[in-house]
Amino acid sequence: MRSWRIAVFALVAGAASSLLAQDGWQDLFNGKNLDGWVEHSGKAKYSVEDGVLKGESVSGTGNSFLCTTQRFENFEFEMEFKADALLNSGVQIRSEVFPEARTLTIGTNTFKLTADRVHGYQVEIDVDVARGRMWSAGIYDEARRGWLFPADGEKGKQGRAFSEQGRKVTKPGEWNKLRIVADGPVIKTWLNGEPRAEITDSLTPSGLIALQVHGVGNETNKVGLKVWFRNIRILKL
């Protein structure tokens, strides 16, 4: 009787495992190592600790990005993050990186990119309570056009409302859940279940996903700051 029960349990467990594998979601981080990821642009430290992906700031380097080796177009993305207050971070989506320097022309503006410079849409991570802005899940165009949402700055109507909401929904010092949906030209974000930003923009329809550790220059008080990421997964649409 006992062996029969074990066999039934194994069958049910196997079916559940199969269901999880067939639900369409893909884990981007295996919880063990950085397989499937490669660093570009800067020299921040990325490592795995207790099943969590950790980024750590270092001196004398620019913005660093741990990038997927896969490209993605239309998708739903989820992850959880936690960060030291003074360390700016973010998640790049539909982003590009080239081995050589390039000049981009967008409308009437030109943008010069150094070799290996990650650029593209970034969903912000900002948990600095003292600053008061709290723009996590805002949408920034890294190394290109700057803020896309909010688009009117910290003193603008949209920016003030975004800050007010951010202070309510952000959990400083705790795990926060970020959700991103990129479907055609529409990009939407949620933070801890609350809708945050939405844009319609078709400049870059596909690209890499990357985890940022912002450069801290030579500010000694910002060296060794950390950001943590876990449960990183994606569903292709």
Per residue in 127-158, pLDDT (tens digit) is: 999 999 999 999 999 999 999 999 999 999 99
Instruction: Answer yes or no: is 174 within a domain.
Output: yes
Q: Does residue 72 lie within any of the structural domains?
A: yes
In 3D space, the residue among 150, 156, 116, 143 whose CA is nearest the CA of residue 203 turns out to be 143
Q: What percent of the chain has pLDDT over 90?
A: 88
Does residue 2 form part of some domain?
no
Cβ–Cβ < 8 Å for 111, 203 = no
Q: Report yes or no on 13 lying in a domain.
A: no
Q: Is residue 171 in some structural domain?
A: yes
1 in any annotated domain: no
77 within some domain: yes
Give dist(CA 105, CA 170) in Å, integer: 36
Q: How many other β-carbons are positioned within 10 Å of the β-carbon of residue 179?
A: 19
Domain CATH for 62: 2.60.120.560
**pLDDT at residue number 7:** 44
Kindly state whether residue 100 falls inside one of the protein's structural domains: yes
Domain extent for 151:
25-236
Q: If we measure between CA atoms, which residue out of 142, 134, 54 comes closest to residue 96?
A: 142
pLDDT of residue 218: 87
Confidence label for 11 from pLDDT (cuts 50, 70 and 90): very low
Model confidence pLDDT, tens digit, residues 56-104: 999 999 999 999 999 999 999 999 999 999 999 999 999 999 999 999 9
Per-residue pLDDT band for 17 (boundaries 50, 70, 90) equals very low
pLDDT of residue 143: 97
Q: How many domains does the chain have?
A: 1
